Amino acid sequence: MINGRIIKAMSGEYVVDTNIGVFTTRPRGIFRHKNNAPKVGDFVDISTTDEEHDQSVIVHIHPRKNEFIRPAVSNIDYLAIVMSVKSPTIDWLLIDKFICSSLHNETKPILILTKCDLLSEDDYKALEQYKLYYDDLDISLLFSINNNHLNQLKSLIKDHVVVLTGQTGVGKSTLINKLDQSKDLETQEISTKLGRGKHTTRHIELFLFKGGYIGDSPGFSQLDVSMIEMQSLKYYFEEFNRFSKSCKFRECLHHREPKCQVKKAVEEGSIMKHRYDHYIHLLEAKMNEKPKY
């Protein structure tokens, strides 16, 4: 039996990195019957059917410390949310959805903004205020501009497993190429006709990087956070916790309740209004969800 980590999945085949080499494998049918397909990032046991190790099969998936549906990965340390400030325009609601998903899965989020060289000086200064706000929430916000910024990112993710996620066309593959110049991932420009990126990355893949792995994933513009319970959503907006203990109601949802200190903090500017608006957007969507039977 050989133990390793899945680093790539495509067309029903899985590439597993082990201490004796890299194997291309297929899973046993039992995983399909149990609706437990392997994911990139999984630690697995594989069995080979001949001495040359030409044929191998995944026979066991080890328990996961975390897992995501989109991107479909497991056992990661950081979810790096990559967004461009222009072409496509930055989507702060999608960013906060990613942050909620990351925290829900006990994974540390990192926010990386690309194409910052396209900003005016005033727009860049405005983003620096966002950086101070998110940094205060212990969410690193990094600008992908020059080597100094790239070195900050390299230092942060060293010895960890990091997966880049975000919309198509924001520059995830380009960023990996900059971080590791031995890589030559295919990239494409944004489609001016459609106003969004063209799908270049079609599968998730982990690459060895500074004692850990860095992963690229296909881009998308929608994210489902239905796995988060309505009562739990507020805890993923960390700044709310600083004021919620003073709310009149113990289980205050910070929505329509009177004497809510979170709403007061929004009015006083201690909580960014767009963060609160995003919370209300997600909360009301959950309130309108059809019950699951």
User: pLDDT, tens digit, for every residue of 95-132?
Assistant: 999 999 999 999 999 999 988 888 888 998 989 999 99
**Is the predicted pLDDT of residue 194 greater than 70, yes or no?**
no
Residue-wise pLDDT tens digits, 8-57:
998 889 999 999 999 999 888 777 666 788 999 999 999 987 655 567 89
How far is 95 from 104, CA to CA, in rounded Å? 14
More confident residue, 245 or 146: 245
pLDDT of 236: 97
Does the pLDDT of residue 243 top 90, yes or no?
yes
Strand 43-48 and strand 2-10: the pairing is: antiparallel
Report CA-CA distances (Å) from 144 to 19, 112, 118, 128, 289.
34, 7, 12, 13, 38
Burial of residue 238, with CB atoms counted within 10 A of its CB: 0-12 exposed, 13-18 middle, 19 or more buried: middle
Q: Which pLDDT does position 137 carry in this prediction? A: 95
CA distance 103 to 16: 27
User: What tens digit of pLDDT does each residue of 164-193 get?
Assistant: 998 888 888 888 888 887 766 555 444 444
- With 0.75 as the threshold, say if the pTM is over it: yes
If you average pLDDT over every residue of the chain, what do you get? Answer: 86
Residues with Cβ within 8 Å of 109's Cβ and at least 6 positions away in sequence, in order, are: 78, 79, 80, 81, 98, 99, 102, 103, 139
